[in-house]
Structure 1
């Protein structure tokens, strides 16, 4: 896919006004987000981290959402594993219902909250499953708590190399809190449909509705700061120095039509992590959990069965 020219960008802006709209209901508070199942909270360094927990005696699976999302993004995948596994989902700081950070945002800062949750809930033998930013977070957690992580699943994940120079400069310069707070709803939808999603699904619509409703609400500016600052830090995030130390069996899953994090990053992760395998999902974009959830669930199920620990 080529980079749009200025006339093309002007046309995109015009088309944004005609884009099909998702429901946008400004939220009085992020706690008004509608989650399936009862959410819980755990204190990590004096701040509340939101999560859901199916309970049960099975090995724990912890799902970590992508940038600008929340734990509901896993609705079409995570419930399929309840019963056999204890299924948990977490909101990153400033996202979903988790409290924001007082200081600077960045990949390491938001990852610390997930590490704190893993410790607080004593999640030994956990399988970490992260998409995009969530994958980068999972890589930081396995680096810091290798003894707790049994398996790792990286879905179109951050961490396989920094963003190329000029594009990184563009993101740092223009992707500011003010931009995220003020950009037209239709342009957000159009960009997502062109570059992030391959299909029009209920999950994709839910992701956009939650994003735009949060932005339009009373906590919109705080949310814009969280997502802008995290993204601008993420362009430099590169887990290469510790990929060779990852001992957990790892599944690298990538949509073949991901235009956000290119497939070279998938190859890099799969080649550098010692016990890693790569699965490419056909006709799928950057967020398989909403774009092609059935294919992702099948790949995940196959991996979990193949890498299941034998009984003691």
Structure 2
């Protein structure tokens, strides 16, 4: 059975080979510091981990729990979240080993562990049931949680989620190439810029301060080692037996210009998940919530009106 890195990591490795000509260096303490927590943020202790959480919107409204992608942080939802807070309680958090949550003392980085931890976080926050909104790695954890604990999930919104491997099925983690590990631990500017050119369909439209925040969050102390540890735990066994068990109505959003995970995967998922709808977003890359927030918000609102979860 062939081993395979995730699509995102394979593309990133190609970027590094082409662009990383300088010797990686350790980030300074100032560079590691990153943005300060916002006023709406709080930290929640969940089974030994201290998790940064941001909650916005009306108390008592249906909950949208947002889960970001690999190496990102809850700031990826900054453009989308305010568009949904009138009708929903929007809860977002930094995944274990990411953002200002930082490394997990128990190193729970495997996809199924991330899914289980999201359920534990819901319990810690007093959330009985939620609409899960996940991008990339966060989408992978979201659909796994929906299959694992259907009573917790009223609906699923998957934005370019992880599911299928690039080169076949693997139940054993692939070795992390040294060049990729060095990048994740240091995030040198040339390689970062090359990876951004693949993640976003048009990086010139992404505000400089957003890119600065992304890189600063990646360079926070301990996160690089956590990224590498995550890849060392990462597997993508055949997802379809699990996907077929998902009961929640599911919206799949996919950017037509995604260079990280093939857009064809969206159609595959829509065929396998029992109650799924696929919406293609023209001219959008891997992080639609940043590239087309109004379009994503409208799609989510229309989908949830029709699905009527928890109302």
* Shorter-chain TM-score range: 0.7 to 0.9
Deviation at 1:139, TM superposition (A): 1.3
Deviation at 1:203, TM superposition (A): 5.0
Q: Does residue 64 in structure 1 map to residue 76 in structure 2? A: no
Residue 132 to residue 33, structure 1, CA distance change in 2 (3 Å)? same
Q: Does residue 230 in structure 1 map to residue 234 in structure 2? A: no
Deviation at 1:125, TM superposition (A): 3.1
Match of 2:41 in 1: 39
Please list the CA deviations of residues 248-278 of structure 1 after superposition, one character each: whole Å capped at 9, or x if unmatched.
1000110001111112221121111111000
Residue 169 to residue 120, structure 1, CA distance change in 2 (3 Å)? closer
Residue 58 to residue 202, structure 1, CA distance change in 2 (3 Å)? farther
User: C-alpha distance in 2, partners of 1:131/1:65?
Assistant: 5
Tell me if the contact between 1:92 and 1:113 (Cα under 8 Å) persists in the aligned partners: no
Write out aligned runs for 1:138-217 (5 A). Answer: 138-159=142-163, 161-164=164-167, 172-174=176-178, 176-193=180-197, 195-200=198-203, 205-217=208-220
Over aligned residue pairs, what C-alpha RMSD do you find? 3.1
TM-score, with structure 1 as normaliser: 0.82
Structure 2 unaligned segments of length 5 or more: list them: 1-9, 23-28
Q: Does residue 282 in structure 1 map to residue 285 in structure 2? A: no
Write out aligned runs for 1:290-305 (5 A). Answer: 290-305=290-305
Match of 1:20 in 2: none
TM-score, with structure 2 as normaliser: 0.82
Tell me if the contact between 1:138 and 1:152 (Cα under 8 Å) persists in the aligned partners: yes
Tell me if the contact between 1:61 and 1:129 (Cα under 8 Å) persists in the aligned partners: yes
Tell me if the contact between 2:259 and 2:285 (Cα under 8 Å) persists in the aligned partners: yes
- Aligned length, in residue pairs: 292
Residue 298 to residue 36, structure 1, CA distance change in 2 (3 Å)? farther
Tell me if the contact between 1:25 and 1:216 (Cα under 8 Å) persists in the aligned partners: no
Residue 10 to residue 306, structure 1, CA distance change in 2 (3 Å)? closer
Q: 2:110 aligns with which of 106, 110, 115?
A: 106
Stretch of structure 1 that moved more, 97-106 or 300-309:
97-106
Match of 1:258 in 2: 258
Match of 1:91 in 2: 94
Stretch of structure 1 that moved more, 47-56 or 103-112:
103-112
Tell me if the contact between 2:173 and 2:235 (Cα under 8 Å) persists in the aligned partners: no
User: C-alpha distance in 2, partners of 1:126/1:310?
Assistant: 8
Match of 2:31 in 1: 26
Match of 1:115 in 2: 119
Tell me if the contact between 1:260 and 1:286 (Cα under 8 Å) persists in the aligned partners: yes
User: C-alpha distance in 2, partners of 1:9/1:213?
Assistant: 19
Residue 71 to residue 102, structure 1, CA distance change in 2 (3 Å)? same
Tell me if the contact between 2:111 and 2:140 (Cα under 8 Å) persists in the aligned partners: yes
Residue 166 to residue 180, structure 1, CA distance change in 2 (3 Å)? farther
Structure 1 unaligned segments of length 5 or more: list them: 17-23
Residue 166 to residue 307, structure 1, CA distance change in 2 (3 Å)? closer
Match of 1:21 in 2: none
Match of 2:6 in 1: none
Tell me if the contact between 2:35 and 2:213 (Cα under 8 Å) persists in the aligned partners: yes
User: C-alpha distance in 1, partners of 2:248/2:37?
Assistant: 31
Match of 1:53 in 2: 55
Residue 162 to residue 10, structure 1, CA distance change in 2 (3 Å)? closer
Deviation at 1:177, TM superposition (A): 3.3
Stretch of structure 1 that moved more, 121-130 or 165-174:
165-174
Tell me if the contact between 2:256 and 2:284 (Cα under 8 Å) persists in the aligned partners: yes
